[in-house]
Amino acid sequence: MSDRTVELEILRYDPEKDEMPRFETYTVPYRDDWVVLDAINYVKAELDRTLSYRWSCHMAVCGSCGMVVNGEPVLACHAFLRDYPARIRIEPLANFPVERDLVVVIDDFIDKLGSVKPYVVAKEEKSVDEGEYIQTPGELARFKQYTACINCLLCYSACPQYALNESFVGPAALALAHRYNMDSRDVGRSAREDVVASNPGIWECSFVGACSEVCPKSVDPAAAIQQTKIASTADYFLNFLTPWKKT
Percent of the chain with pLDDT over 90: 87
3-state secondary structure of 48: coil
pLDDT score of 216: 97
Listed in order, strand segments (DSSP E) in the chain are 5-12, 22-29, 66-69, 72-75, 87-91, 98-100, 103-104
C-alpha 31 chain-centroid distance: 28
Cα–Cα distance for residue pair 188/182, rounded to 1 Å: 10
Q: At residue 200, does pLDDT exceed 80?
A: yes
CA torsion 224-230-232-235 (nearest 10°) is -140
pLDDT score of 242: 72
The pLDDT tens digits for 46-70 are 999 999 999 999 999 999 999 999 9
Quickly state the pLDDT bin for 235 (edges 50, 70, 90).
confident
pLDDT score of 241: 67
R_g of the chain computed on alpha carbons: 21
3-state helix, strand, coil in the chain (%, to 5): 40, 15, 45
The pLDDT tens digits for 70-104 are 999 999 999 999 999 999 999 999 999 999 999 99
Cα–Cα distance for residue pair 158/170, rounded to 1 Å: 11
What are the phi and psi torsion angles at 162 (to 5°)?
-65, -35
Other beta carbons less than 10 A from residue 192's beta carbon: 22
The pLDDT tens digits for 127-181 are 889 988 999 999 999 999 999 999 999 999 999 999 999 899 999 999 999 999 9
Cα–Cα distance for residue pair 124/61, rounded to 1 Å: 32
CA torsion 203-207-211-217 (nearest 10°) is 100
Domains of the chain: 5-104 (3.10.20.30), 107-241 (1.10.1060.10)
User: How is residue 244 annotated by DSSP?
Assistant: T
Give the amino acid at 181: N
